[in-house]
Structure 1
Amino acid sequence: MKLKALLEKRNNKVVEMKALLDRAKTEERAMTEEEMTQFNNLEKEIKDLDTTIEAEKRASSLEVIDDTKKNVGVEERAEAEERAFASYIRGVIEERADINLTVGDNGAVVPSSIANKIIKKVYDICPIYQLATRYNIGGTLNIPYYDEATQKIEMAYATEFQELESTSGKFLSIELKGFLAGVLSKVSKSLINNSQFDIVSFVVSAMADAISKWIENELLNGTDNKIEGLSTVTQKVDAASSTAITADELIDLQEAVPDIYQGSAIWIMNRATRKAIRKLKDGDGTYLLQKDFNAKWGYTLLGKDVYTSDNMPTMAAGKTAIFYGDMNGLAVKLSENMNIEVLREKFATQHAIGVVGWIEIDSKVENSQKIAKLVMKTT
């Protein structure tokens, strides 16, 4: 067994020993006979591993040991930081100081490798964020775009020796700032004390789920004076009813997006809206919305994938029930320096540990031609 694997096995045994002891302390009781037997067996295993580790070190050259400590590769570094993160939550301090977490007054700052795992998972489970045009930078970002809404470049017949008339659009820009948002996840110490529980995966998943749900809601609905998201989409089809959608209105919505942007277009709606559309038929009695095992989310409507989100409004008066288009027309700026901290003391009275995450994000429509919306009639 390699030295790295031996060290990991030893550290896991230490975590198990501390978990047994901490459980008894928490419940204010002595360790049971079974727990003492397990504790003593773990102690013996650790001593045996220490002997093997020492022998492995003696068999290795000093240069190899220094290289392991000082010139850790990116992948190995990430693994070490992940192990340190799990150990810190469980109250175990890593032996190697170079990968210990930075501890402040209120908790420890989580390594960037863990934060990157969370952002990667947000990308995987939030299609709107995944499909949007993403800018992972801090500060204010100005994105220029060419506007031909009122005037555009046009070619015309000309007469020799006469001046051509100049016609052109104009360059405008959208400004993406950084609005601060935070999320708190509390982890039960009972779970933490279970040595078989994958604490890192749990924290990454819990944080990513909370962040992705919030981001998706903001991208779809926006918030006044904060993130705009798709709330400012200008291409619009008005439904004739406040409670129902017709096949013609769906066709009108699809046609609102120019053919050049149809290639990657999708439908976004609430599940209740999809359910209503599933009952719509064309003139030949064929259902418009088709079950498609090859589709990204299981259904296609007029040849395009259908994505449902609980963050989308249902069919109600004045609400935007459907978005259609290429979500690449939405710009999202997320600061690449996501800040994650572990709060060990704050929730001690709740028998829990807190993991708090902070992001800076903004989003606006970058290309208004790529996306259209269907708005229900206002009663």
Structure 2
Amino acid sequence: MVDILRVPFEGPSAWTRDQMERNANWRYTLNAGEVDEIRNAVRVAVASGQPLEKITAAHFPLPTLGARIRRLAEELENGRGFELWSGLPVHEWTTEEFSVAYWGLGRHLGEPVVQNARGELFGHVTDTTGADPQTNANSRFYHTNHAAPFHVDGADIVGLLCVRTAQAGGASLVVSSTSIYNSLLRDHPDLIELLYQPLWFDHRGERNSVTGQPYWVTSIAGWTGEKLSMMYLRNFIESAQRYEGAPPLTDAHRKLLELIDSYAQSEELLLPMDFQPGDIQWLNNHVTLHSRTGFTDWEALERKRWLMRLWINQFERDRFTSNYKYHGIAVDEPSNAAIA
């Protein structure tokens, strides 16, 4: 019998930077006809009178682009695990219009899920606090201008729409978590079992709505059938050590976390990409980690870096909200862990 914990993951999501740079078909630019179709869908959705969060795919008709979104869904689930779309004309719309456009595209991809304990379905990634999440355990990176650690978000898919860029910096960084897994298996097989052991993850100032606890418990890696999923949030793991009863991290755990970050930042695996207004980055959280560089923002509020974020559950077996069950351990509920 094959020990699945000792078998490298094989599939298109286990990519390297060189492969992505040699074949950039992960970039997709909306053509003029598709943009016109989105413009019309915005008009239809606005005319329906529905509030944003009540707009469904039926309110946002995409007779031809809908097929392209289905191919996107297939690529996210069974392909490389990410795409970068360009060409959404955010510059010509009001905030309401490009919000409806982005929301409508997301509704064709799947079901939006809440991003925090406040129940927000539409997130905004912009510097509002300036606090350093490395020293303030209740702070979130998506409300600062600091570089973010590599992480996943709490849904099958995360979408990031660029509305405005920073004065300097703020590049997006993407890496294949399945390639990181394969690198660990190749170089440090003695640490693989730690990926499957339960760890405490900090809710960072929020609480589990079922247990009332400020942490949740899961493992970093798990399989469902032949699919591997990685749940990596290093700073959430480390800050959960502040709670009474948290199993202490061993030297082996700390070595494992250092190695994951090292592989994520390696020339072999790390893929950087710059956002431009109108770009949408779609990521499968099960097979990619993402991050961003720190940035210098504009002084004027109306020019500050601004990304809109959607979390979407799309996959048939609802992998991200239940994957901790197939990790082999019992958990309270999935996290609303957001960094970006």
Asked if Structure 1 and Structure 2 have the same fold, meaning a TM-score greater than 0.5 normalized by the shorter chain, the answer is: no
Flag the structure with more relative contact order, 1 or 2, with Cα contacts below 8 A and sequence separation at least 6: 2
TM-score interval, smaller chain:
under 0.3
Normalising by structure 2, what TM-score?
0.22
Point out the structure with max Rg over C-alpha: 1
